[in-house]
Structure 1
């Protein structure tokens, strides 16, 4: 250790004399095309200061899947033996060798030690550099890019960057470089929803058919005859045989994530509860404010209130009055927030003050803008709920493989700690958000032909939820179909992640029995992560929004519904002294869990000028294994340790 630090001092001294040691560079990250809407407008000024952040390679990350399987697979003797946060941090703490290699490289590029900072977690190294210094270090060029639909500007490097070969092995990614993970909540839009009302433009919330007449709402609270036209909590309970009274609410927890400016309206909650769950009138979610997240009392618009109202009205009514629901409201009304800002609150090692985020892409607090949140950034301040439901997404192509891999690893760490993370699979079938599809060079357009998967649904360490429907004219007791009203269930195959071990036999069986009728040039047939994993109803939800009831569509609905059902499973396990179910996928893909979902065998998820994939017997990339059958799920999970 002493020799290492002596070597660093010598390296800094050599740098000060201007004799850096040359080293061969290798390409570390690249992209073939820019995200949709972005165009370079000028070279970045050489004097511009960049907060260069280097994410260090984490030891044992190559084994994270096997470590997660060890505590999540139903056949493992260690099932349910979840890790502590301290054990997770220690297992993946970067080595001193990695730290020294990066410090030496920065010093050789003329970066004085006073400008270099190591995060407390040892996961990130921050160096404040000028553009010209960063260009020399990374062998690249920086440009200013403009997003013309919104006018937003962003500094990024030109298509690729390089690292010395001996440094590259110790680095996962460097920011800001190629990443365009612009903050959720901006007008550019990062949600997977689309509008069906042409006059409203590009919407950031779930899709709505508009308000319902008062007459159409009379006596529908317990009406099961018209679930093909209006979904209510009673319809969902009938569809999934979901009857359960929580008994371990003091032990259990469920969290719904929302990103400002998407917020709920308290009066809308009461309007919904008055009609569908009278005992909950006046009930509110337990607010966990992340980086200034707050609730505005005024009604605003479907874009601002639709998502959060939908998520909370159905999650809260399904879990019932006795089970508190936590609301993770991320971001103030000026900056908003990103997925990384949420992870900051759940894991302090990811925070900006420790070098984890990129201020050009993620929100940074205190927010100095007028009306911005003036408090310190939330870092490791939030205990994760056992179930976390999120109804937002990116197009996978908009992010680099290294970026998605690092974020995906954070979800795996939550799984190690016994947390179930659910994400909606998207509403545009095999197409990306905005119905964008890909060309061979990686560019996006509505005229593209290559399927465009969604992230984080493509992360192997979350559970992706697709959408179904009660088809027009069908009864609530009839089999559901894949959703083909207004929206199409997102599904397909990742272009970033390999197929995880837990789903190989299932997906390979699907491909052998039901080979997709498309050339392999338009979908990734190379053995990649397939999604969704499960599904739930996502059509014709009756939701109170801004003082009116509307019919709402989307996997935004499917995800909180699934979260509520799995939260009940957790409650039953906790009540008899067992652990939470944690990472779901190894369990639901196991042969012992066959038949615990209602198989969906009708419908497609069209997009990119095709019918997309087809729902077939067993798992498929439209509805996964199908919709929950609560009694069967509960029975199986209660038999596990």
Structure 2
């Protein structure tokens, strides 16, 4: 995984493991700024207890990209030969050498053996420590920070590890990380702040739809419906139905759908789905709450399910992963815990200061154990939430990115929206030279998990005003701008090099090198796109127009689900991690190339949509008949 980090981050981990036991301390992680909304309150109480956790480096993790390419590249002899969950667990469990090194160091530092606990899957070591002891172990100072929502968070500015221990530890929590949960809010906090992960990262609306919607395709430049999408991407094709197929959509409480909204939408646009609900899988007490209603609560889930279910049709079950109770909420890690027990808190994983922990002691909180390897992942999983890459540390994003690679090894397709603010990050924030994020920053700010090379990042397009569904789309430039750009953390994966190098050679952005990652060596996003403007959605009993990569992501998820359906019906594997395939020559022309529009942000016009891949719309929008034929031709 570390081979995917930027060169600056690489230098933190590439140290010789054969150091003497007594070795000098070196910087392991450092935070350059306090995230927006947080303020320093005071030095933390030395006697307070910390759940100190060491994320151990995983065995063979440097080869995870190679393993994933073997089962994902269409020219590989192992294409489609996906791994089992036990294969993944056994290959990547930390080595005994790593476990022994960290444990010995803790013992030599005065930590009693009974306080040193290893997770059953060997991925983590936990020590319940006082702040004073933690500061001595890590050569740091812990401080208490406050958020405008009333949340408190413990963190340090930087921490150090002995040189012979650093290669064995990915990161330590709590430390420099600030992806704290902010789901609890008081009555004065705007409702849009509820949406974790990445608070406020949801679809946008231009308000209630007043006009009647024609039953034909004449107004798809103004109102996108299921029929418009079928016409745009050729999804009229009927494919066989496989009982083993599955499509999962992830939502985070308090966000929830309303059944009355699904009925209203399907009654108008897909009568054979009227009265149907998604198959709800509750994770950590998640449920389709109805006590809080409004666009900020219902818009995302209503959108995802109405179009996800509507496109795949009534014969395909759509699974709703509803994550987190109404009190504590949840993070991406909480969702990943449910899929992979080796990543779970109760096996040593999550940090209760960063990720929601269960049982939840709060009033009305979920009192059961945290979901830990209890959920079978769907073949395609679509998520319309995200963070700014700069919100998280490189080590933290690398660890989570490895989890997406493991899911890909098991044949699962992971889709994430690329963001709605062009080259700016969520909330329209841009980077400053000191690493802070502000509205008046000038440095492009990519989003995560879209920058992870093991997920498929989805941008947004639109039907231009006055155009029909049979004419080329453009990059979305109405209400939102398609997120795109170049990672500051992850290196460019091999599968993407030819396409991105062509773009940089022929359409090199005319911007100073200090406002974007112009090295030509970093992961680029998005990978693909779909329409993201003027969606007609039933929300809280009325039709509204919705915009965003939140629209385009479930559309692609539905299309890939139908392709899986066809492959499974003829005895073939799922398509799994699709990026090596869609960037290959075998899939040339399988996406509708988008060549106009841009994605403004950070005081610029952003990048331009160009022939071939570009950092606005990626490879383009899906051409379902061509994609289906190309995937059916693979083993």
Counterpart among 211, 220, 228 of residue 235 in structure 1:
228
Give the conservation status (yes or no) of the 8 Å contact 1:53–1:174. Answer: yes
- CA RMSD in angstroms, aligned pairs only: 1.5
Distance in 2, Cα, partners of 1:414 & 1:30: 29
SS of 2:51's partner is strand
1:205 aligned residue (202, 205, 213): 202
Secondary structure of the 2:154 match is strand
Residue matched to 1:406: 399
Post-superposition Cα deviations, 1:219-241, rounded to whole Å, max 9, x if no partner, equal x3x32000011000000000001
Query: In 2, Cα distance between the equivalents of 1:440 and 1:369?
Result: 40
Counterpart of 2:212 in structure 1 is 217
Equivalent residue, structure 1, for 2:312: 319
Residue 53 of structure 1 is matched in structure 2 by 53
Matches of 1:288 and 1:494 in 2, distance apart? 33
* 8 Å contact kept, 2:595–2:610: yes
CA–CA distance in structure 2, aligned partners of residues 310 and 51 of structure 1: 39
* In 1: Cα distance, 2:278 partner to 2:39 partner: 42
Distance 2:182 2:67 in 1: 31
**What does residue 80 of structure 2 align with?**
80
Please tell me whether the aligned partners of residues 184 and 259 of structure 1 are also in contact (alpha carbons under 8 angstroms): no
Task: Tell me the distance in 1 between the aligned counterparts of 2:77 and 2:167.
Answer: 35
Measured after TM superposition, the shift of residue 296 of structure 1 is 2.3
- 1:474 is paired with a residue of what secondary structure? coil
1:560 aligns with 2:554: yes
Cα distance, 1:225–1:299 mapped onto 2, change above 3 Å: farther
CA gap 1:180/1:252 in 2 versus in 1, 3 angstroms: same
Moved over 3 A (4+): 184-193
- Provide the rounded CA distance (Å) in 1 between the counterparts of 2:361 and 2:528: 42
TM-score, normalised via structure 1 length: 0.93
Structure-2-length-normalised TM-score: 0.94
**Secondary structure class of the residue paired with 1:371:** coil
Instruction: Name the structure 2 match of 1:42.
Output: 42
Structure 1 unmatched runs, 5+: 1-20, 194-201
Residue pair 1:428, 1:435 contacting (<8 A) in 2 also: yes
Contact 1:192 1:427 (8 Å CA) reproduced: no
Structure 1 residues 576-605: Cα deviation after superposition (integer angstroms, max 9, x where no partner):
000000001000010111100000001000
Shift of 1:520: 1.0
The answer to whether residue 470 in structure 2 is matched with residue 477 in structure 1 is yes
- Give the equivalent residue in structure 1 for 2:155: 156
Question: Could you tell me how far apart the structure 2 residues matched to 1:290 and 1:355 are?
Answer: 18
Deviation at 1:525, TM superposition (A): 1.6
Mean Cα deviation higher: 104-113 or 551-560: 104-113
- Higher mean C-alpha deviation, range 53-62 or range 295-304: 295-304
Residue in structure 1 matching 2:176, options 175, 178, 188: 178
Q: In structure 2, how many angstroms separate the alpha carbons of the residues matched to 1:542 and 1:185?
A: 28
Task: Answer yes or no: is the 8 Å Cα contact 1:411–1:462 preserved in 2.
Answer: yes
- Does the alignment pair 1:594 with 2:588? yes
Aligned partner of 2:167 in structure 1 is 169
- 1:339-372 Cα shifts (integer Å, max 9, x gaps): 0000000000111111100001111111111100
State the partner residue of 1:369.
362
- Unaligned 5+ residue runs, structure 2? 1-20, 186-192
Match for residue 605 of structure 2 among 611, 620, 623: 611
Q: Which residue of 2 aligns with 1:15?
A: none
| Cα displacement (A) at 1:190 | 6.0
Q: 2:10 maps to what in 1?
A: none
Confirm or deny: 8 A CA contact 2:431 2:438 kept in the other structure: yes
Report the Cα distance in structure 2 between the residues aligned to 1:483 and 1:499, rounded to whole angstroms: 25
Matches within 5 A, 1:268-417: 268-297=261-290, 300-417=293-410
**Residue 635 of structure 2 corresponds to residue 637 of structure 1:** no
2:242–2:566 CA contact under 8 A, matched in 1: no
Counterpart selection for 2:495 from 488, 499, 502: 502
Residue 475 of structure 1 and its aligned partner are, at CA, apart by 1.0
Q: Deviations over 1:375-431 (max 9, x none)?
A: 111000000100000000001001000000000000000000000000000000000
Aligned to 1:427: 420
Q: Which moved more, 1:244-253 or 1:52-61?
A: 244-253
Supply the distance in 2 between the matched residues of 1:181 and 1:566 (Cα, whole angstroms): 31
What SS is found at the alignment partner of 1:326? strand
